Amino acid sequence: MMTTTTEHAQNPLNLDMRLVNQIVEGCHEGLSMAEIRPPAIGASRLVNMSRPYAVIVGLVGDDSGSMTIGLSSAAALFMVNSLMGTESTQIEDEELDALMEIGNITAGCIRNKLVEMGYHISNISLPSLVLGINHHVHQSKGVKTCSVEFELEELPLHLYRERFFSVSVSIRR
C-alpha cells in the first residue's frame, strides 16, 4: 500500500491507526475489571522488550499473530494487586498466575476488537510468561506490528521509570 506525502506527514511512523485504536480500546476493556484505565502515551511499530515481564498470548485463526504485554516489576505488581484486591509486595507464583490472567483477558478483548476490524481470529492461546529483560522476538515477513505505550499514573513519581508498560500486537492476514 502506497502512502501519499500528505498521509505520511499526518502519520510519519506509518502506523495503522485503526490498529492503534483497537489496541487502546481492547487494553482499556481488558483492564477495566481491575479498575485500571491507563492513558496511552505513544505508539510505535517497534515492540519494546526491555522490561522484566512479558505475557505473550497467541491470536489464532485464518489471520494469526500474538499480543504481548511488557511490564516493569512495579507495573506488574500494581496490576496484579488491582485485579486481586491484594497488597502484595513481591511477585511470587500466585502473582505470576494473575499476571498471565491479565494477559489472557486483555488478549481476548483485543481479539474481539480485531474481529470487528475484519480480522479472522477464532481463538487465543494459553498465555506464556517471559521473565527477563531485553529478550528479542522476531516476526516473519509480512507481519504487521504495532505497540502502544501506556502509563500507570497511580504509581508514585519516584517509580517514574516503572510507570510504563506496552501492549503490542503482531498479526498477519
Average pLDDT value for residue range 119-136? 90
Over residues 9-61, the pLDDT tens digits come to: 456 667 889 999 999 999 999 999 889 999 999 999 888 778 999 999 999 99
The model carries a pTM of 0.88
Q: What is the predicted pLDDT for the residue at 3?
A: 47
Average pLDDT value for residue range 132-153? 84
Residue 8 has pLDDT above 90, yes or no: no
* Residue/partner pairs of 9-16 with CB below 8 Å, 24 or more apart: 13/43, 13/44, 13/45, 14/45, 15/43, 15/44, 15/45, 15/146, 16/144, 16/146
Q: How far, in Å, CA of 60 to CA of 78, rounded?
A: 29
Q: What is the predicted pLDDT for the residue at 138?
A: 64
Burial of 164 (0-12, 13-18, 19+ CB in 10 A): buried
Whether residue 19 contacts residue 117, with contact meaning beta carbons closer than 8 Å, is answered with: yes
Q: What are the DSSP calls for 124-143, one per residue? A: E---EEEESSS------TT-
Q: What is the predicted pLDDT for the residue at 76?
A: 96
Whether residue 20 contacts residue 94, with contact meaning beta carbons closer than 8 Å, is answered with: no
Helix H segments across 1-159? 5-10, 17-31, 73-84, 93-116
Tell me the one-letter amino acid at 57.
V
* C-alpha cell belonging to residue 23: 489496541
Residue 6 has pLDDT above 50, yes or no: no
Q: Which domains does the chain have, with CATH numbers?
A: 16-172 (3.40.1550.10)
Average pLDDT value for residue range 152-161? 93
Angle of helix 93-116 versus helix 73-84 axis, rounded to 10: 90
Over residues 56-112, the pLDDT tens digits come to: 999 999 999 999 999 999 999 999 999 999 999 999 999 999 999 999 999 999 999
Q: What is the predicted pLDDT for the residue at 169?
A: 95
